[in-house]
Amino acid sequence: MQRHEELALIEREMMLLARHQVLATARTGSGPDALERSAYTLLSRIETEGPLTIGQLAEAFGLDTSTVNRQTAAMLRAGLVDRIPDPDGGVARKLRITEEGLRRLRQDRDWSIQGLARVVSDWTSDDLAEFAEVLERFNRDIERLQGRPWPRGWPATAPGPTARQHPSPATPPCGCCAERVDVPTPPRGPAGKTCRPGRDHRPDRNGSGPTITPRSGPRARIGPRAEGRTRRTVADAVIDLNADLGEGFGRWSLTDDEALLSVVTSANVACGFHAGDPSTMRRVCSLAAERGVRIGAQVSYRDLAGFGRRAMDVPPEELADEIAYQIGALQVFARAAGSRVSYVKPHGALYNRVVHDNEQAEAVVSGVLRAGAVCDGPLPLLGLPGSRLLAVAEGVGLPVVTEAFADRAYTWTGTLVPRREPDAVVHDPEAVIARAVGIARDATVTAVGGEPITVRARSLCVHGDTPGAAQLAWRVRGALASAGVRVEAFT
């Protein structure tokens, strides 16, 4: 009962915290220049990360794009943000905070700090640092459960005229420069945290900014999980997240395309041979282009009835034509959406066949080469490491991208366990998440016999046709971020 009583006390205080309006009054009661709460939060995210697309903002806050469109439209009209081309060459335009937006954001933040200073005027620096640390832990645990970590690095924008500069450029700004919080704009650590004397800096768990190293002594330990909270990061760990999308037909749909396109960085779009139809292809391409997700052609044997998972013997020349046909069809809709087909991935039985079958692998590569004329040059092929497909593609000069699966069982040779066999698919979400991190960070996964094997992959597939796929994908992405793995497309 003791834990229940402690949680009940926390619940009561959180209810009262929501009721008290000291901080909100200090901000919203400061005149017509005050920002709406949604604008304040969105601008804070853009300030921290730099320019973001509508899709990236929707992903960050777990909202649909129509809601973010409405919110950012008001910000555009007010001159708080403007639209710019993607500096990284992406299709979707990004929202950048303007000087006016930065001025009003910092003005609102100063109002909030002044209100906070009134509340904690008799707190010591130790009290403030301890409270900030507990709040950060609480928020991080919420973010971990939601799979949406909030970046706690330094803002991407330059400091404003009211922000203090730390005396040494080589040392991150912190609150050690000021013993009190009743200053117009106190120096800020991550998430506005102030440091107390005697505490060190070290990279935070996402590698983007400093975090506070607890001092020794009885007050340093916050809870049973306080030790070991900072995880090792791998500076060069980067992974693409791909998913099979558009796998419906007519009124029947299989995948939650809209939700998954808020998580993944590459979309394997069904091209009509195992699933998909023209309207579905157009809709998925449009959503992907809007959110800056790369579009890939998921090519298959002509097998609508068997969902492309039945073994077939197709003459190589015919198969090459069918591959080119599927890529060309998807390119029409990708171009109409303002994007393009960026890569090719075989599906189902064809994917497994070209791991070992050199003749069928050559046919797929021939089809990709034929489609190159309408796709602005050679397209990368996404496939299993060590497969004949990738070997043949490399032999003719096509780019190749290695792929791994967190929710599929592996044999000790590094191939996938066939779906017809028991336990070919990993259903436990926690196991899927752990395997995803292991593949992306350590290039290892446990095979069916229990032994670890090496799997070096640049892209990780999160299947969209399993129950709760979108939620699981969010959790996988959040776990990758917490492990220090950057998630970005390979093209």
What confidence score (pLDDT) does residue 158 get?
42
Query: Which of residues 153, 179, 213 is at a domain's end?
Result: 213
Q: What domain count does the chain have?
A: 2
Are 300 and 346 within 8 A, CB to CB?
Answer: yes
pLDDT tens sequence across 396-448:
999 999 999 999 999 988 999 988 888 899 989 999 999 999 999 999 999 99
Let me know whether 318 and 198 are in one domain.
no
Per-residue pLDDT for 154 more than 60?
no
What confidence score (pLDDT) does residue 71 get?
86
Let me know whether 287 and 421 are in one domain.
yes
The stretch 348-357 carries a mean pLDDT of 94
Asked, for residue 70, whether it belongs to a domain, the answer is: yes
- Better pLDDT: 17 or 306: 306
Per-residue pLDDT for 164 more than 80?
no
What confidence score (pLDDT) does residue 63 get?
80
Are 42 and 75 within 8 A, CB to CB?
Answer: yes
pLDDT tens sequence across 76-99:
989 999 999 888 776 678 999 999
Let me know whether 292 and 185 are in one domain.
no
Let me know whether 68 and 183 are in one domain.
yes
- DSSP H or E segment with residue 296: strand 294-299
Please calculate the CA angle 44-65-482 and round it to the nearest 5 degrees. Answer: 55
Per-residue pLDDT for 201 more than 70?
no
Asked, for residue 227, whether it belongs to a domain, the answer is: no
- Considering only the C-alpha atoms of the chain, give the largest distance between any 2 of them, rounded to a whole number of Å: 81
pLDDT tens sequence across 384-400:
999 999 999 999 999 99
Let me know whether 274 and 321 are in one domain.
yes
Asked, for residue 218, whether it belongs to a domain, the answer is: no
Let me know whether 207 and 329 are in one domain.
no
Asked, for residue 476, whether it belongs to a domain, the answer is: yes
The stretch 54-72 carries a mean pLDDT of 83
Candidate from 34-43, 211-220, 272-281 with smallest mean pLDDT: 211-220
How buried is 471 (Cβ within 10 angstroms: 0-12 exposed, 13-18 middle, 19+ buried)?
middle
What confidence score (pLDDT) does residue 142 get?
87
What does the alpha-carbon distance between residue 415 and residue 386 come to, in Å, rounded to a whole number?
Answer: 9
Q: Tell me the CATH number at 148.
A: 1.10.10.10
Within 8 A by CB and 6+ apart from 199, the residues are 129, 176, 212, 213, 214, 215
The stretch 249-261 carries a mean pLDDT of 81
Helix axes 358-371, 348-356, angle to 10 degrees: 120
Candidate from 4-18, 216-230, 270-284 with smallest mean pLDDT: 216-230
For residue 200, name the pLDDT band (cuts at 50, 70, 90).
very low
Let me know whether 182 and 265 are in one domain.
no
Are 415 and 455 within 8 A, CB to CB?
Answer: no
pLDDT tens sequence across 316-348:
999 999 999 999 999 999 999 999 999 999 999
DSSP string, 326-370: HHHHHHHHHHHTT--EEEEEE-HHHHHHHHH-HHHHHHHHHHHHH
Asked, for residue 225, whether it belongs to a domain, the answer is: no
What confidence score (pLDDT) does residue 449 get?
83
Percent of residues, the chain, with pLDDT higher than 90: 44
For residue 21, name the pLDDT band (cuts at 50, 70, 90).
low
What does the alpha-carbon distance between residue 68 and residue 309 come to, in Å, rounded to a whole number?
Answer: 38
Per-residue pLDDT for 251 more than 90?
no
Q: Measured between alpha carbons, how far apart are the two ends of the chain, in Å?
A: 54
Query: Strands 266-270, 294-299: parallel, antiparallel or unpaired by DSSP?
Result: parallel
Q: What is the mean pLDDT of the chain?
A: 79
Name the phi and psi angles at 84, rounded to 5.
-135, 155
What confidence score (pLDDT) does residue 118 get?
80
Domain of 148 in residue numbering reads as 2-163+171-213
What confidence score (pLDDT) does residue 231 get?
37
Let me know whether 407 and 262 are in one domain.
yes
Let me know whether 318 and 442 are in one domain.
yes
What does the alpha-carbon distance between residue 232 and residue 204 come to, in Å, rounded to a whole number?
Answer: 9
The stretch 134-162 carries a mean pLDDT of 72
What does the alpha-carbon distance between residue 408 and residue 117 come to, in Å, rounded to a whole number?
Answer: 53
Instruction: Return the residue matching tokens 């009262």.
Output: 16
Are 285 and 294 within 8 A, CB to CB?
Answer: no
Asked, for residue 223, whether it belongs to a domain, the answer is: no
Q: What is the dihedral of CA 276, 279, 281, 287, to 10 degrees?
A: -130
Residue 405 β-bridge partners: 461
Per-residue pLDDT for 172 more than 50?
no
Per-residue pLDDT for 64 more than 80?
no
What does the alpha-carbon distance between residue 212 and residue 189 come to, in Å, rounded to a whole number?
Answer: 9
What confidence score (pLDDT) does residue 298 get?
97
What confidence score (pLDDT) does residue 209 get?
38
Strand, helix or coil at 480?
helix
Asked, for residue 280, whether it belongs to a domain, the answer is: yes
Let me know whether 182 and 261 are in one domain.
no
DSSP string, 396-411: TT--EEEEEESSB-B-
Six token digits for residue 370? 């034929």
What does the alpha-carbon distance between residue 388 and residue 383 come to, in Å, rounded to a whole number?
Answer: 9
Asked, for residue 222, whether it belongs to a domain, the answer is: no
Let me know whether 29 and 153 are in one domain.
yes
Within 8 A by CB and 6+ apart from 198, the residues are 215
Let me know whether 177 and 270 are in one domain.
no
Candidate from 23-37, 56-70, 281-295 with smallest mean pLDDT: 23-37
Are 240 and 265 within 8 A, CB to CB?
Answer: yes
Q: Tell me the CATH number at 478.
A: 3.20.20.370
